Every structure is written in C-alpha cells, then in structure tokens.
C-alpha cells in the first residue's frame, strides 16, 4: 500500500443474512482527505461505516486500515473515531462535559484506571478544538443541540484517531448549530490534518466542506472531486 494511503477497500461485498448491502466496493482513502458519502436511504452508507470500523466482516473482498484488517486487529480501533447520527448518550445524562469527553479514553483507562494529568489535559485540548473550553464544568444536559454535538466530536478526537467517521453530523440542528459543526469539521481537516469521512444529506455541508464525494447505492456509483459531482447534478 502506498505510504500516503490510509485505507483501502478491495471489491468489498457485505451485508446481513439474506441481504447484500454493499456489492463490489473498491476505493482508496489518502491521509488528510475530506470525503462525503452520499446516497439514498438503505443504499448501504451505514453498512460502509460498520465495515470500516471492523464491526462487520466483508463476505467478499477486504478492508485495509494502515495495511491491516480492522476486524482482526483490535488495536486499529483507536485509529478510528465514530460519531453516530443519534448518540447513545442520554441528552439528560447527569455528567459534566469533560466527563463525556473522557469517555473517549475508555480504551486507555478502562473501568478502574484513574485519569492522569496528561489525560485531563487531552480532554481540555479536545474541548478547545471545538471551541468549548470556556464551558468546563458545565452539565452536559444544559447544552444546546449543537453544543452537545461539539462535545461528542471532542469525545471522538480525544483518543487522537487518524480517521473520523461522522454519520449525518448536522441532522436535527438549527442553522446556527449547523454552521458551528461545519466550522469544527472544516478545522479538523484543514488544521488538525485528520481524515474525515462524513455520511450526509446536508447539501450546504456537502458543498462547503467536502473535497471528494463517494456515492453509494449498494454499488459505487460515483467517486471523484466534489466539484465534478455537483456538475453532474447540474447537467
């Protein structure tokens, strides 16, 4: 694998008993790319994220993250952070925002290990990256929807991943919150130099952030520059 290639899917077919969600999907992802994944509901986008995370093993083909298969190498999970469309955290969870972010260090801390000063500094640094450092000590349940989403992004990046997977990061947010999430995600790619892959239906987010678009409808129907993708729609 080329040194600048972070991830590669080779003729991946995957799905569930009695249902093929992805068929013969092949593409490469280089370091520091900003990629939007689009396609109809039920087209296989969520399955694609699960395959990348190693939660589903392909029926055929293979996925390589840094040259290794994620479903056979658990240490690769620390290289991939995931922000689901609807967080599993109760919006009224009685915890401070720094406690939520610290959950992203579970693979290092487990249930019993106490966070060190270095861990706490990483939590604060992650909150600074999403512009919430002034809200340290604030209960999570007191935040707006957009602020909660930014806390969850901080939780995703605190483990220092190389790939961040976002599933509809702006869904259900007001315009102001959508703008704040767009700003944070843009900074992750442009300033933090992370590889970000975002499933989205948000046309504003797509047009203002994505450099590359991958369209999935069971099969790969488009893979190229975002500008080329938009030109297709205008023809």
Using the predicted structure, report yes or no on whether residue 119 has a pLDDT greater than 80.
yes
Q: What are phi and psi of 42, to 5 degrees?
A: 80, 5
Listing DSSP states for 45-72 in one string gives HHHHHHHHHTSS--SEEEEEETTB-TTT
- Quote the CA–CA distance of 110 and 99 in Å, as a whole number: 14
CB distance 33 to 47 below 8 Å? no
- Structural fold of domain 5-234: Rossmann fold (3.40.50)
Instruction: Indicate the pTM of the whole model.
Output: 0.89
CB 4 within 8 A of CB 168: no
* SS3 category, 102: helix
Cα(172)–Cα(109) distance, rounded to whole angstroms? 32
Most confident of 70-84, 88-102, 104-118: 88-102
| Interatomic CA distance for residues 158 and 226, integer angstroms | 29
What pLDDT, on a 0 to 100 scale, did the predictor assign at position 235?
Answer: 46
Residue 137: partners with Cβ closer than 8 Å, 6 or more residues away: 96, 97, 98
- How far is it, in rounded angstroms, from Cα 87 to Cα 23? 28
Residue 86 DSSP symbol: S
Per-residue pLDDT at 113: 72
Residue boundaries of the structural domains of the chain: 5-234
Strands 5-16 and 60-65: antiparallel
Task: Identify the bridge partners of residue 25 per DSSP, sorted by sequence position.
Answer: 12
* pLDDT digits 0-9 by tens, 10-56: 999 999 998 999 999 999 999 999 999 999 999 999 999 999 988 89
Number of neighbours of residue 172 by Cβ within 10 angstroms: 12
Asked whether residue 204 carries a pLDDT value surpassing 50, the answer given is yes
């Amino acid at each position: 694998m080329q040194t600048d290639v972070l991830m590669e899917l080779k003729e991946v077919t995957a799905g569930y008993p009695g249902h093929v969600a992805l068929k013969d999907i092949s593409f490469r992802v280089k370091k520091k790319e900003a990629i939007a994944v689009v396609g109809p509901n039920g087209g296989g986008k969520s399955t694609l994220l699960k395959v990348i995370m190693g939660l589903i093993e392909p029926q055929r083909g293979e996925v390589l993250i840094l040259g290794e298969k994620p479903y056979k190498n658990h240490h690769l999970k620390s290289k991939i952070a995931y922000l689901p469309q609807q967080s599993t955290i109760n919006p009224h969870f009685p915890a401070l925002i720094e406690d939520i972010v610290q959950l992203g260090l579970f693979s290092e801390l487990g249930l019993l290990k106490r966070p060190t000063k270095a861990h706490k500094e990483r939590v604060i640094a992650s909150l600074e990256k999403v512009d919430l450092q002034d809200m340290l000590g604030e209960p999570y349940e007191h935040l707006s929807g957009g602020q909660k989403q930014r806390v969850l992004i901080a939780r995703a990046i605190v483990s220092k991943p190389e790939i961040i997977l976002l599933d509809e990061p702006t869904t259900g947010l007001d315009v102001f919150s959508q703008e704040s999430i767009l700003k944070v995600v843009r900074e992750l790619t442009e300033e933090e130099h992370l590889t970000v892959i975002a499933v989205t239906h948000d046309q504003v987010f797509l047009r203002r952030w994505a450099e590359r678009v991958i369209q999935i409808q069971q099969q790969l129907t488009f893979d190229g520059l975002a500008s080329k993708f938009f030109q297709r729609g205008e023809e």
